[in-house]
């Protein structure tokens, strides 16, 4: 009996250590994925958490499980943002809020930028949160089209394409002109709107990147270095 009593506190201590390791890994993954995207080496996550890679794999056997744990709060925010956008009464304002909020979340977190355009088949709760956001988005799109303010040929898949395009702009401009994504987004939204008397209209167009910022972005992009060189000739 005395032996059992001595083992119980040790067992509780081991469980507490395991839970602390899990929390550290989730926090580390959140920051590492936000900085470098979802393809960063998991050794970097383990190092940031102060644990070994074996400990990471004991807690999260697959990358998908770690991603799901790291982005549960962000996916909840995503679902709530879509539902809050639907709660707005003006159909066009509701659509603009939906797209703007998601694009803003992409700009804030590189990992979320990757996550929003991929699936995590092993993460049931993540799929449920995505479904919540998708249902709200479908309602927003349908209502905007029924009200005659959104192009009739816009479909949910087009929203995914728009977010992919925004992700590319965010990646190219993040370090030099971090707010530049707002301008092409404003152009895209304007192209999707069907003008009507009294309809919601966005404010002034966001400012474009400066020529110096554009030059720095092009110089930093390996795919466009040749084009940048020609522009400077």
CA dist., res. 134 & res. 116, Å (int): 11
For the beta carbon of residue 142, count every other beta carbon within 10 angstroms.
13
The vertex-80 CA angle with 161 and 163, nearest 5°, equals 10
Q: Is the dihedral of CA 139, 182, 90, 84 positive or negative?
A: positive
Model confidence band, residue 113 (pLDDT cutoffs 50, 70, 90): confident
Is the distance from CB of 78 to CB of 129 less than 8 angstroms? yes
Q: What's residue 225's pLDDT?
A: 40
Reported as a single tens digit per residue, the pLDDT across 78-109 is 999 999 999 999 999 999 999 999 999 999 98
pTM: 0.74
pLDDT at 218 over 80: no
Q: Is 153 helix (H, G, I), strand (E, B) or coil?
A: coil
Least confident of 2-16, 93-107, 133-147: 2-16
Q: What's residue 127's pLDDT?
A: 81
Higher pLDDT, 149 or 4: 149
Burial class, 14, CB count within 10 angstroms (exposed 0-12 / middle 13-18 / buried 19+): exposed
């Amino acid at each position: 009996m005395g032996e059992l009593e001595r083992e119980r506190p040790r067992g509780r201590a081991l469980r507490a250590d395991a839970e602390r390791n899990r929390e550290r890994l989730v926090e580390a993954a959140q920051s590492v994925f936000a900085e470098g995207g979802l393809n960063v080496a998991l050794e970097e996550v383990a190092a940031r958490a102060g644990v070994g890679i074996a400990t990471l794999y004991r807690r999260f056997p697959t990358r998908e499980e770690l991603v799901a744990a790291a982005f549960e709060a962000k996916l909840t925010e995503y679902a709530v943002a879509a539902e809050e956008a639907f709660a707005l009464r003006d159909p066009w304002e509701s659509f603009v809020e939906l797209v703007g909020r998601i694009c803003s979340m992409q700009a804030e977190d590189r990992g979320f930028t990757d996550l929003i355009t991929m699936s995590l088949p092993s993460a049931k709760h993540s799929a449920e949160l995505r479904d919540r956001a998708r249902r709200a988005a479908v309602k927003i799109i349908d209502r905007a089209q029924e009200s005659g303010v959104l192009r009739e040929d816009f479909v949910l898949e087009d929203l995914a394409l728009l977010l992919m395009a925004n992700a590319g702009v965010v990646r190219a401009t993040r370090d030099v002109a971090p707010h530049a994504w707002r301008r092409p987004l404003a152009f895209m939204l304007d192209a999707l709107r069907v003008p009507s008397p009294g309809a919601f209209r966005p404010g002034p167009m966001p400012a474009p990147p400066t020529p110096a910022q554009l030059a720095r972005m092009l110089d930093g992009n390996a795919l466009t270095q040749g084009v940048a060189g020609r522009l400077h000739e």
